[in-house]
Amino acid sequence: DGGITQSPKYLFRKEGQNVTLSCEQNLNHDAMYWYRQDPGQGLRLIYYSQIVNDFQKGDIAEGYSVSREKKESFPLTVTSAQKNPTAFYLCASSIRQGVRFGNEQFFGPGTRLTVL
Amino acid sequence: GQQVMQIPQYQHVQEGEDFTTYCNSSTTLSNIQWYKQRPGGHPVFLIQLVKSGEVKKQKRLTFQFGEAKKNSSLHITATQTTDVGTYFCAGHEDSNYQLIWGAGTKLIIKP
């Protein structure tokens, strides 16, 4: 059964702690993405990766870091430098980035991070 | 950066009424995609439009891509409670591989 998994679904952390959100896909997709969604808002791109061992900053990368050591995995670390980390974090993947046809994004169920 | 404007932000309808959301870009898009996010859920891909003036239908949903490939709309006929959620458009510019997201329109069914 192919798809994207994110864990955990809910995560609570104390202010000042780094936290890593996992994202795994078995769709054999090249491109992976991390988005942040605040209540009642749209999606804002944090980081994206088009290929293993390569990634680029999105619109709101400050205070976040990622790695792409394996094709199927794209973990996101929310560092203590992120001023307002409480949000809903969504991971997505697509066959490739920027392909005109068939490049829809498939999303994981998301992780709701609350920093106390 | 480039933006895709989506309106309205919210739309309250009685069950059975129609619903429409609009997206507008200042630049030409190579394609536009539509996604639905149910309350508490994650966005799910609905459809992609590529051709100028393209119209596609999925049961009660009608998607249009403008002739200039700068605007798009989603129309739902006779809304049902299962339609509740937020509808997002997202487009690729010809010169940019990054998907640009609209802010979404939340469909609310009045009790």
Residue range A51-95, pLDDT digits in tens = 999 999 999 999 999 999 999 999 999 998 888 999 999 999 998
Instruction: Give the residue from A50, B23, A97, B72 showing the smallest Cα distance to B64.
Output: B72
**Cβ–Cβ of B45/A106 closer than 8 Å?**
yes
Interior CA angle at A20 toward A97 and A40, to 5°?
Answer: 65
Q: How close B57 comes to chain A (CA, Å)? A: 18
Predicted confidence at residue A81, as pLDDT, reads: 87
Closest to B69 in 3D by CA, of B89, B53, B83 = B53
Q: A41: pLDDT confidence band, cut at 50, 70 and 90? A: confident
Rg, Å, chain B Cα set: 13
The CA R_g of chain A, rounded to the nearest whole Å, is 13
Cβ contact, residue pair B42, A110, below 8 Å? yes
**Interchain contact, B99 vs A105, CB within 8 Å:** yes
Question: What is the per-residue pLDDT for A86?
Answer: 95
pLDDT for position A116: 87
Average pLDDT, chain A: 91
Stretch A106-110: mean pLDDT: 96
pLDDT of amino acid A97: 65
Full pLDDT tens readout for chain B, 111 residues = 568 999 999 999 999 999 999 999 988 998 999 999 999 999 999 999 999 999 999 999 999 999 999 999 999 999 999 999 999 999 987 666 678 899 999 999 998
- Nearest by CB to residue B102, choosing from A42, A59, A100, is A42
Let me know the angle formed at the C-alpha of A67 by A62 and A68, rounded to the nearest 5 degrees: 135
- Residues of A with Cβ-Cβ distance to B6 under 8 angstroms: 42
Which positions in chain B touch A48 (Cβ < 8 Å)? 98
Q: What chain B residue is nearest to A104 in terms of C-alpha separation?
A: B45
How many inter-chain contacts (A to B, CB under 8 Å) are there?
Answer: 51
A14 vs A101: which has the higher pLDDT: A14
- A109 in contact with B at a CB cutoff of 8 Å? yes
Task: Write down the pLDDT at residue A100.
Answer: 57
Give residue A103's pLDDT band: very low, low, confident or very high (50, 70, 90). confident
B42 vs A: CB within 8 A: yes
Token pair recorded at residue A68: 């792409």
For residue B74, give the nearest of B103, B42, B34, B41 by alpha carbon: B34
- Residue B108 CB partners (closer than 8 Å, separation 6+): B10, B11, B12, B13, B84
Report the gap between the CA of A52 and the closest CA in chain B (Å). 17
